[in-house]
Amino acid sequence: MKIRGAVLDTIGLPRPYASSAPLTVTELDLAEPGPGELLVRIEAAGLCHSDLSVVDGNRVRPVPMLLGHEAAGIVEIGSGDIEPGQRVVMTFLPRCGDCAACATDGLTPCLPGSATNGAGTLMNGDVRLSRDGEPVLHHLGVSGFATHAVVDRRSVVPVPADVSAVVASLLGCAVLTGGGAVLNVGRPLPGQTVAVVGLGGVGMAAALTALAYDDVRVVGVDRLGDKLTWASDLGVHETRTPEEAVDLKADVVIEAAGHPAALETAIGLTAPGGRTITVGLPHPDARIQVSPLGLVAEGRSLIGSYLGSAVPSRDIPRFVELWRSGRLPVESLVSSTIRLDEINAGMDELADGHAVRQIIEFG
């Protein structure tokens, strides 16, 4: 079938992206789903730093590639227990359920899922996208910046009809990554303080999830004043710039900026006995300076968390219930709605730090 999608052909083009246009919205061919795969009509997709990191070269992927990994839509061709008409959340790390990594209950990324993500294929090694007869690779098993996608059954989680497409899309990355780091790794106790360093979509989702806990104080840390204001409006108890936070000590610190300086800040804010949880994805060459003695003598932990150390089939329903109860207002993460044709300008907004979550809504 013919679809429209945003394809990246060249990595590392100069900014502004509105002028250099690294993403080309074009017509592609999408093959029928194979065994264990679904055809999904995309309803909403979010712009995330993990997409920007491919565009700017911080996360090198093979090209040409149809980007987008945070999306939700309606199944048109089902598979197994998923029937046509079902709304599904797409998740960017499929789990095979059989490898040693999958046995860690979310702690370690699935080995086959990670391998196929790196190769730009679906779980079976196939590619369903093409342009003018040439293959176009899948982004993290999703390729959500398009009108339709073929995905592996293990890349989706069904959600009830009352969960809107916009909320569902955000559950697949921002909430699962940021919120999952709080739920699965941070696990704050009553009376504790949670600090979030980097208040983009993932960081804001972490802050919202921490606010859902009873008797937990939440502090937001960011360099941009408008992000601090946004966090305050969401109910974060206190906001500070990194310079203002030097005397802060928190029991759980989530680093969501994807920058080595942010991680060093997060480690410095961690109280004795506390946990620093990093979910940001910096450039592979990035390095930090840290005092090992400070970790040992004060019993502090530094923990990496990919996809919020989540098992999507287990955790997305947990987030749905928090949203239904009114304790997790996921809609408040949306900073703007854009058209697919505006995606390059949207990447500029993301790079400038102005956006929390821009959502592409498809008709």
Q: Both 299 and 354 in a single domain?
A: no
Say whether pLDDT at 317 is over 80.
Answer: yes
CA angle 230, 233, 239 (to 5 degrees): 65
User: First and final CA of the chain: distance in angstroms?
Assistant: 18
Q: Both 301 and 224 in a single domain?
A: yes
* 318: in domain: no
Three-state secondary structure readout of 169-211: HHHHHHHHHHHHHHHHHHCCCCCCEEEEECCCHHHHHHHHHHH
Q: Both 144 and 290 in a single domain?
A: no
Distance CA 235, CA 70 (A): 25
Domain tally, the chain: 2
* 319: in domain: no
Distance CA 174, CA 301 (A): 23
* 288: in domain: yes
* 201: in domain: yes
Q: Both 302 and 351 in a single domain?
A: no
Averaged pLDDT, 224-253: 97
Q: Both 208 and 344 in a single domain?
A: no
Distance CA 119, CA 141 (A): 10
Distance CA 82, CA 37 (A): 10
Q: Both 195 and 274 in a single domain?
A: yes
> Quick one: pLDDT at residue 354?
86
Q: Both 29 and 148 in a single domain?
A: yes
Residue 199's pLDDT band, with cuts at 50, 70 and 90, is very high
Averaged pLDDT, 217-228: 97
* 70: in domain: yes
Q: Both 260 and 344 in a single domain?
A: no
> Quick one: pLDDT at residue 363?
76
> Quick one: pLDDT at residue 297?
96
Q: Both 197 and 337 in a single domain?
A: no
* 320: in domain: no
Q: What percent of the chain has pLDDT over 70?
A: 100
User: Residue 27 CB: number of other CB atoms within 10 A?
Assistant: 11
Residue 249's pLDDT band, with cuts at 50, 70 and 90, is very high
Q: Both 6 and 153 in a single domain?
A: yes
- Answer yes or no: are the C-beta atoms of 358 and 336 closer than 8 Å: yes
Averaged pLDDT, 307-313: 96
Q: For position 53, which CATH number holds?
A: 3.90.180.10
| pLDDT, tens only, 69-109 | 999 999 999 998 999 999 999 999 999 999 999 999 999 99
* 87: in domain: yes
Q: For position 258, which CATH number holds?
A: 3.40.50.720
Q: Both 340 and 259 in a single domain?
A: no
pTM of the model: 0.96
Q: Both 153 and 179 in a single domain?
A: no
* 139: in domain: yes
Strands (E), 267-323: 270-278, 301-304
| pLDDT, tens only, 144-188 | 999 999 999 999 999 999 999 999 999 999 999 999 999 999 999
| pLDDT, tens only, 1-18 | 999 999 999 999 999 999
Range of the domain at 90: 2-158+329-361
Mean of all residue pLDDT scores within the chain: 97
